[in-house]
C-alpha cells in the first residue's frame, strides 16, 4: 500500500478572502468555491497535480492563515489502507463520509504524524464489523448540521487524512484547468517520525526540527513570492 499526496490544507478564519488571494497571486484556478460542508467551510484551488484547500474549522479560528494539514489517497480501498496504517503503528479513525456540490467522499484521520491533531477517536486495533457500523452511523450523523458543528468545534492544530473519492475526481479537476505545478512542499513535523509512512514519490520535504505544519510551497513559474499567514509561497522556473 502506498500513499500519494493529494491535497494541502490551509486553515483560515476567512476562507473566501484567502481563496481569492491565493488564486489571484498564485495563478491557481478555483476548483470549488467556498461552501459550508458538515460544520466547516471549504474552498479549493488547483495547483498542478495537487489541490490546495482553504478551510475554516473550529470555534476559535487562528488569527492568521495556518499550514494546517495534508491529504493523501491510497492505492488500495480505504478500509485496507487504514488497516495497513494501523498495522504499521499509526492510529487511524473510522471513515466518515461527506458530500458537497453533488460530490461524495470518505476519509480517515491519521494521528502520530503532526502534533495536536484534529481530535477524533483513533486506534491501532484491526478494524472490526462494529467499527464499520460506527462509521456508517457517524457518516449519517455528520449530515445533521447541529451535530456536524459540534463535531468540528475543536480543530486541534493539524490534520492528516487519507481520502477516497466516490466520484470521478480526475474529470472534475480537469474542468478547472491545471494551474502551476507544485515543485516542493516544506512541512515541519514538530519531531514527528514519518519514516515508516508508505509514501509514493512526492514533492514533500519533511523537516523534523521545524515547527509543525506547512511552511513553504514552491510553485512553477515566475510570479512574485507572497505569504498567507504562516505559509510562504515562492516560485521557481527551474525545470
135, 109 Cβ separation under 8 angstroms: no
Cβ neighbours of residue 137 under 8 Å, at least 6 residues apart? none
pLDDT over 80 at 147, yes or no: no
Percentage with pLDDT > 90 across the chain: 69
Backbone torsions φ then ψ of 196, nearest 5 degrees:
-90, -5
pTM value?
0.90
The confidence score (pLDDT) of residue 67 equals: 97
Q: pLDDT tens across 68-97, in order?
A: 999 999 999 999 999 999 999 999 998 888
Q: Which of 28-42, 46-60, 75-89, 200-214 comes out lowest in average pLDDT?
A: 28-42
DSSP-based three-state secondary structure for 14: coil
**Nearest Cα to 83, choosing from 169, 198, 6?**
198
CA pseudo-torsion sign 118, 213, 191, 199: positive
- Residue 146 pLDDT level (bands cut at 50, 70, 90): very low
**Nearest Cα to 70, choosing from 156, 148, 4?**
4
Question: What is the rounded distance in angstroms from the CA atom of residue 229 to the CA atom of residue 62?
Answer: 10
CA pseudo-torsion sign 158, 160, 166, 172: positive
30, 19 Cβ separation under 8 angstroms: yes
- Per DSSP, 132 falls in state H
pLDDT over 50 at 138, yes or no: no
Q: Can you point out the beta strands (E) in the chain?
A: 3-11, 30-37, 40-47, 50-56, 66-74, 96-100, 103-109, 159-165, 182-188, 204-207, 213-220, 226-228, 231-236
Question: What is the rounded distance in angstroms from the CA atom of residue 99 to the CA atom of residue 43?
Answer: 13
> Which CATH architecture best describes the domain 3-179?
Roll (3.10)
Amino acid at each position: 500500500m502506498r500513499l500519494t499526496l493529494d491535497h494541502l490544507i490551509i486553515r483560515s478564519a476567512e476562507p473566501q478572502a484567502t481563496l481569492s488571494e491565493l488564486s489571484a497571486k498564485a495563478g491557481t484556478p478555483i476548483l470549488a468555491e467556498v461552501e459550508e460542508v458538515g460544520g466547516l467551510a471549504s474552498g479549493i484551488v488547483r495547483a498542478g497535480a495537487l489541490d490546495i484547500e482553504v478551510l475554516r474549522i473550529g470555534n476559535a479560528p487562528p488569527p492568521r492563515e495556518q499550514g494546517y494539514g495534508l491529504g493523501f489517497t491510497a492505492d488500495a480501498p480505504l478500509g485496507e489502507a487504514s488497516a495497513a496504517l494501523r498495522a504499521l503503528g499509526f492510529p487511524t479513525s473510522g471513515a466518515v463520509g461527506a458530500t458537497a456540490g453533488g460530490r461524495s467522499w470518505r476519509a480517515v484521520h491519521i494521528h502520530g504524524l503532526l502534533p495536536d491533531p484534529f481530535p477524533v477517536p483513533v486506534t491501532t486495533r484491526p478494524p472490526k464489523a462494529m467499527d464499520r457500523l460506527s462509521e456508517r452511523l457517524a457518516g449519517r450523523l455528520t449530515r445533521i448540521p447541529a451535530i456536524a458543528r459540534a463535531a468540528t468545534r475543536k480543530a486541534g492544530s493539524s490534520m492528516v487524512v487519507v481520502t477516497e473519492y466516490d466520484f470521478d475526481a480526475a474529470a472534475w479537476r480537469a474542468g478547472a484547468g491545471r494551474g502551476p505545478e507544485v515543485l516542493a512542499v516544506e512541512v515541519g513535523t514538530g519531531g514527528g517520525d514519518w519514516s515508516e509512512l508508505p509514501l509514493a514519490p512526492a514533492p514533500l520535504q519533511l523537516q523534523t526540527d521545524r515547527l509543525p505544519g506547512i511552511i513553504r510551497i514552491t510553485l512553477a513559474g515566475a510570479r512574485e513570492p507572497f505569504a498567507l499567514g504562516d505559509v510562504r509561497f515562492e516560485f521557481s522556473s527551474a525545470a
